[in-house]
Structures are given as C-alpha cells and as structure tokens.
C-alpha cells in the first residue's frame, strides 16, 4: 500500500517537474526564442489548458484499464516530451512536445491516487493521498529549483529538461520493476461517473478550485521574472528562493494533511486566505531584504498545500466516483493555472509586472467567497 504511494509520489515528482520546471527558465526561453515573457508563458498555460479540457475525457476512456499499464504509458509520454525538448526544437515544436504528455497528466495522478488508496482503511486514505501528492512539494524543493540552478550554471535552458528526463525515466523504471499488475476490480459505468456533475456542491467546488489555482499562478507563473525585475535578484538568488519556496511548501503540506482530517473547509480556507493576504505583502516587498525572504517563505508555505486541500475539498462530495472526481479536480485546477498564467501575462502587458500580486489577491478573494457559497448547498 505504502510502496504504491511512494512510487506514485516519485512519478508525481516527474510530472510536476515537467509542468512547472519551465517557470524558472522562462526568461532564458524568452531570450532564446526572441519572444516576450507572456508569450513564453504559453509553455505553462498551454500545458495546463490541455489538461483542463482533455483530462476528464481521457480518464473516462482509460478508467477501465490496468492501473499499472496506464501509469507506464503516461510516464512514457513525459519521457518522450523531455527528450524532444532537450533537442532545442523550434518554439512551435517545443510547445507541441510539452502538450503531448498533458493529455495523460490527470490520468496518471488520479490513477496513482486510486492505486494508493484502494486497499487503505478509510482513516488512512487521506494519508496515502498526501504521500502521492507530496511529490508536488518535493519537486518544488528539489528538482524544480535544481533544474533552474543547472540552467543558470551552464547558461543553457536545455539542462532543465535533462533533469525532467532523468526523473521521469527513474519513475517509469520503478513502476515497471516494483509495482504489481493492478487490474480495476469494479468497472463503473460512464453514467455513474457523470452523475457527480449534477451535484451543485460539487460544481461550485470545481469552480472554486479553478479560481484558487488561478490565484496561485497569476504571480507564481512569473516567479523568476518578478523576483528579478521587481525585487532585483540575480539568477543564483532566484534559484535559492525557489528552493526556500519548496522547502516551506513541504512543511505546509504536512500541516495541511493533518488539518484536513479535522476540518476540510476550515483548512482550505486557512491556506487560501493566507495566500490572499500574502499577495499584498509581495506587492510592497521592494528590493531584496529579510522581509522579502520571509514573504517568499510564507508564500511557499501557503501555496503548495492548496493543491492538496483543493483536491480533497472537491472529491469529498463524490465518493461514488473517486477517480473521475480526482481527474476533474486536476483538470479544473489546471484550467485555473492556465487562466492565472494568462491573466498574469495580461497584467504584465497592460499594467506592468509589479502589479501581478493584485491579480493573485483578487482571484483569491473570489475563490474564498465560493467556499461560503457552497455551504448554502
């Protein structure tokens, strides 16, 4: 049970490194391809958009297949994507290569969570889910900043994609060698899956997750560019801030995991509310100082657990179709990532990069209001 969860976590590290690894190298990519930073941001938003719109359909299509096979195929696509990206293809091909694994990203995550929680006691299911989703925090601590660091040291953004290939390949090998065959025992009908969309509370929570992720990524998608241009940090310091952000995210994930077993809505509101307040501090942070350091630490502590709280918050109202609910949660979350990245790019073009935190704060307030609305239903 735990072995499946830990291997699922390793695969999650590869998935998250692929999705978010470009954040630290967006300035380099913009210079290399002679494009604006918001155009380079499409490497993140297009990835997220494919997940948002294709994820639920792919989950419905593949939910009856052996879970090990689904995980293997998913990570194979991530490995192929990384290998193509390392070759410095034209921008359109780089975009296409990144979009390829996005079709199966929510399928991998939902399948890994389902495999890890399938035989767990009800009281341990959140713990198993937290282990798998812990890969998000681990990636933000290790592989994402390390990939950015290597790209800075070698002055080649391709180094970031090399790291992605190594992690995806390692996870693929672990699944092939260490996981048993995991056929789906109870094959649910498409109709039973789709019935959860008739629940007003579930639909409201889906919109909330979308807006919460939009708030998270309106500024975070341009993390490296913001810290460089607004806070005056160099590339090495930015890598350090990514590491600090990730370390605090792991700590936050641990706190959130314990809090969810006591109060699902309360824990979700606490982290989202804190993230909204931190947006104001980021706006007034100024040049690099101890204050900036503390803000980045708080930002990371509050940001990363929102993936876990949003996932748990949404699937709580769909126990009859957990895998489909998981895939919808991932899809709506990535729709939010796309919306937030595009909104952040628009703010940069129209009002300047220093105003990005206001987009983060405003979207956070709207997401919080939906938590109160869901209580009515």
Nearest Cα residue to 324 out of 55, 122, 42, 48: 55
Q: Is the pLDDT of residue 190 over 60?
A: no
Domain housing 36: 2-376
Domain count across the chain: 1
Place of tokens 């341990």: 124
Q: Is the pLDDT of residue 120 over 70?
A: no
Q: How much is the pLDDT for 266?
A: 86
pTM above 0.85, yes or no: no
First vs last C-alpha separation in the chain = 35
Sorted by sequence, the CB contacts under 8 Å of residue 201 that are 6+ apart come out as 317, 374, 377
Q: What is the pLDDT of residues 269-300, one digit of tens each?
A: 889 999 999 999 999 988 888 888 999 999 99
Q: What CATH number should be reported for the domain holding residue 133?
A: 1.20.1250.20
Q: For residues 348 and 361, what is the distance between their CA atoms, to the nearest angstrom?
A: 15
Q: Is the pLDDT of residue 172 over 90?
A: yes
17: Cα within 13 Å, side-chain hemisphere: 35
Nearest Cα residue to 55 out of 103, 120, 14, 90: 103
Q: How much is the pLDDT for 21?
A: 86
Question: Stretch 348-368: mean pLDDT, rounded?
Answer: 92
Q: For residues 24 and 224, what is the distance between their CA atoms, to the nearest angstrom?
A: 5
Degrees, nearest 5: CA angle 249-317-185: 95
Nearest Cα residue to 228 out of 35, 31, 27, 86: 27
Q: How much is the pLDDT for 358?
A: 94
Q: How much is the pLDDT for 123?
A: 63
Q: What is the pLDDT of residues 195-205, one digit of tens each?
A: 777 778 788 88
Q: For residues 265 and 259, what is the distance between their CA atoms, to the nearest angstrom?
A: 10
Q: For residues 84 and 77, what is the distance between their CA atoms, to the nearest angstrom?
A: 11
> Is the model more confident about 189 or about 304?
304
Confidence of residue 132 (pLDDT cuts 50, 70, 90): confident
Evaluate whether 265 touches 375 at the Cβ level (below 8 Å): yes
């Amino acid at each position: 049970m735990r072995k499946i969860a830990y291997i699922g976590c390793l695969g999650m590290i590869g998935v998250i490194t692929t999705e978010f690894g470009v954040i630290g190298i967006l300035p380099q990519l913009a210079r290399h391809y002679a494009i604006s930073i918001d155009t380079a941001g499409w490497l993140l938003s297009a990835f997220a958009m494919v997940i948002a719109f294709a994820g639920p359909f792919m989950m419905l299509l593949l939910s009856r297949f052996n879970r090990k096979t689904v995980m293997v195929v998913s990570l194979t696509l991530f490995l192929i994507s990384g290998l193509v990206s390392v070759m410095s293809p034209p921008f359109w091909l780089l975009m296409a290569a990144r979009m390829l694994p996005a079709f199966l990203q929510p399928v991998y995550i939902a399948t890994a969570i389902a495999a890890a929680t399938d035989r767990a006691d009800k009281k341990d299911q959140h713990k198993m889910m937290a282990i798998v989703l812990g890969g998000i925090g681990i990636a933000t601590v290790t592989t994402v900043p390390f990939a950015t660091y290597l790209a800075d040291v070698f002055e080649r953004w391709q180094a970031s994609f090399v790291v992605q290939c190594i992690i995806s390949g390692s996870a693929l090998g672990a699944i092939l060698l260490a996981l048993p065959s995991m056929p789906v025992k109870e094959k649910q009908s498409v109709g039973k899956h789709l019935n959860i969309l008739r629940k007003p509370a579930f639909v409201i929570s889906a919109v909330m997750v979308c807006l919460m992720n939009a708030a998270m990524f309106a500024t975070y998608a341009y993390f490296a560019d913001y810290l460089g241009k607004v806070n005056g940090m160099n590339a090495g310091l930015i890598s350090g801030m990514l590491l600090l952000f990730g370390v605090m995210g792991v700590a936050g994930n641990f706190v959130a995991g314990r809090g969810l077993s006591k109060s699902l809505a309360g824990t979700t509101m606490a982290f989202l509310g804190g993230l909204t307040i931190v947006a104001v501090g980021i706006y007034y942070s100024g040049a690099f100082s101890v204050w900036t350091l503390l803000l980045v630490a708080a930002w990371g502590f509050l940001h990363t657990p929102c993936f876990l709280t949003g996932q748990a918050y949404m699937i709580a109202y769909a126990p009859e179709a957990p895998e489909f609910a998981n895939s919808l949660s991932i899809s709506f979350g990535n729709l939010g990532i796309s919306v937030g990245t595009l909104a952040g790019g628009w703010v940069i073009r129209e009002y300047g990069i220093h105003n990005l935190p206001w987009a983060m704060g405003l979207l956070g307030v709207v997401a919080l209001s939906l938590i109160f609305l869901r209580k009515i239903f």
